[in-house]
Chain A
Amino acid sequence: MRPASARSISCRSMRLPPALFCVTITSRAMTNRSMGGRSLGLTLPKLFYQCYNSPREESEPGAGIMATEQREPAVIRLDEASPTPKYQQIVEQVRALVASGVLSPRTRLPSVRQLAADLGINVNTVLAAYRALESEGIILLRHGARAVVHPRLERVTEPPVGDIERIRAALERTRTDALLLGMTLEQLRALAAEVFGR
């Protein structure tokens, strides 16, 4: 499976001149390995080919959604029947998209008004979601509504011990919940492999 970072690199580098592209890809690839992550799964020539031999329509300006659509669409979908509040659904989906690398650090997000208009929901609902994401450090709000994925997320650092403990506690809580619901550890491992393997 291709790691998420490779997808974001190939999308973000679409409009770079070839020389700059090579530098970017090389440095990103090195960064990825230095982080202890998996290999990009793509050779440099293959990535180069994919980015510079994509159909004309894709590489044209304004083809943002098309470029991402064919790899991994950065799309929010609201479940109106869900008991989860709409703002919470937005928060969870943006978090998932950032975590999976579909939305890379410094990626600009739509304005509050644009997202609210597209989803047909109140502006305040989107604003609440953006503020929640900002308080979690997922996005950075600039000048009120202009949001970007937080640049701190691309820093090459080991996660703080506190954060690792927080994740461990969450996993342990999940394990307990699963066992209380009658699942076996094997079932839970299979489920985890399915979720983490995505």
Chain B
Amino acid sequence: MATLLAVGIQALVLVIITTISLLMPSLTRRDLLFGTTVPPNTRATAAGRAIIRRYRTGVLLLAILQAIGLVLLRALAPARFWASIGIVVIPLVLVLLPDIPYLLAWRASRALASSAPPAAPPVPSAGLHPRRYADYVPLVWEALPLALIALTASYLAMTYAAAPAIIPTHFDAAGNPNAYAHKTVGSYFLLVWTQLFLYVLITFLSALTVRAKAQPTVADETFRRRMMRYLFGVKSLMIALMGVLALSVAQSALSGHANVNWVLWVTLGCVVLILGGAIWIGITTGQGGSRLGINGQNTTDRMDDRYWKLGGIYANPSDPAIFVERRFGLGWTINVGNPRALLVLIILLALPFAFTALTFVVVGR
């Protein structure tokens, strides 16, 4: 059962990654082809279509190979492999493999761009209004995730006294507890701390990306607003999921058994909603609002191709921007050439690690 579940989750990850990879060339700005600036509508030319077709064929072939690999692993790998930390390698492979057809397509796009006549450099422009998180997500909306956290904390506070001195902290696939901790405010309210951590982390990230390099266009502004609201939705959904998990853990502490089936379905539902939302924004809005159909506003991001390493890594020490729009993908990436951006990246990477380490200390595992 556990093996089947693990394989099922990996297969779901494979389907999602393949779908997103296949869609991606159509979601980016029209004058960017695999991270390379090209004349507008290059995608519609025979050469542009051929590059995209080869990329999609590569992604599909790799997906088929990965699916065969998963089936073979399911048949040949020992059961203990699926319970080990080794299975984290699988999603990593699933995520990284589509980079191979991307890099080939990027090289072909560069060759195509070099044969095109050089375009006039775009005029640097900026809107004269400050961008703040509250302008994109009404502050009153924040009452929802905060209320969810308060509800979770209230429920746990009400059941705290009745819970046994030793509480379960981890469960197997059948719902039986397989790890325990002494009941303390730290361990019993662990999921509330997780909710608070998620709230702070995602709000911080949203507030930073609001200030990412922008263009003074309606398309760009619409994209930014939708993305900020999407991030708010992700934050609320994850906090709600933590609340459901807290409810389940508290019930198992009181009854000695947790019915994890519905928790699993709720978790999968959240994952589907989050990824479905991202795909929906991609299709309806496109990167930088490029699919909104606003004439004359699907211009490139003005950044020189020289600063884009492999078409996807932005490194420009003379640019004060911390976040910039991704060239192949949805959302923003970091300017690795800016020391402040590197500091932000280190903080963003260190925070989850620090929090995980802290939970191990609190739970005592």
Residues of A within 8 A of B (CB): 57, 60-66, 68-69, 73-80, 94, 97, 103, 108-111, 113-123
Contact = CB atoms under 8 A, between A and B. Distances in A.
A108 B212 CA distance: 18
Interface string B103-147: 000000000000000000101111111110011111000000000
Contacts of A94: 128
A122 B321 CA distance: 10
A62 B135 contact: yes
Given A61-B136, A62-B135, A120 B303 contact: yes
B124 A69 contact: no
A116 B320 contact: yes
Contacts of B216: 65, 69, 73, 75, 118
A65 B320 contact: no
B318 interface: yes
Contacts of B224: 62
A123 B320 contact: yes
Contacts of A97: 128
Contacts of A111: 130
Place the interface of chain B in its size category. Answer: 35 or more
Contacts of B130: 108-111, 114
Contacts of B128: 74-76, 94, 97, 103, 109-110, 115
Contacts of B319: 117, 120
Contacts of A66: 218, 221-222
A194 B128 CA distance: 26
Contact of A61 (B125, B129, B135, B303): B135
Contacts of B238: none
A141 to B, nearest CB: 14
Interface in B186-243: 211-218, 221-222, 224-225, 228
Contacts of A63: 221, 225
A133 to B, nearest CB: 12
A117 B321 contact: yes
B327 to A, nearest CB: 15
Nearest to B324: A117
Given A69-B217, A78-B124, A113-B320, 9 more contacts: A63-B221, A63-B225, A64-B221, A65-B129, A66-B218, A68-B129, A77-B124, A113-B211, A117-B322
Given A65-B216, A94-B128, A118-B213, A79 B321 contact: no
A120 B121 contact: no
Contacts of A61: 134-138
B49 interface: no
Q: Ordered nearest first, which 3 A-B pairs have the shortest CB separation?
A: A118-B126, A117-B321, A62-B136
Contacts of B137: 61-62
B218 A119 contact: no
Contacts of B134: 61
A139 to B, nearest CB: 11
Contact of B221 (A62, A103, A122): A62
Contacts of A68: 127, 129
28 contacts: A61-B134, A64-B127, A68-B127, A68-B129, A73-B127, A75-B125, A75-B127, A75-B128, A75-B216, A76-B126, A76-B128, A97-B128, A109-B129, A109-B130, A110-B127, A110-B131, A114-B131, A117-B212, A117-B213, A117-B319, A118-B215, A119-B126, A120-B124, A120-B302, A120-B303, A120-B321, A121-B124, A123-B320
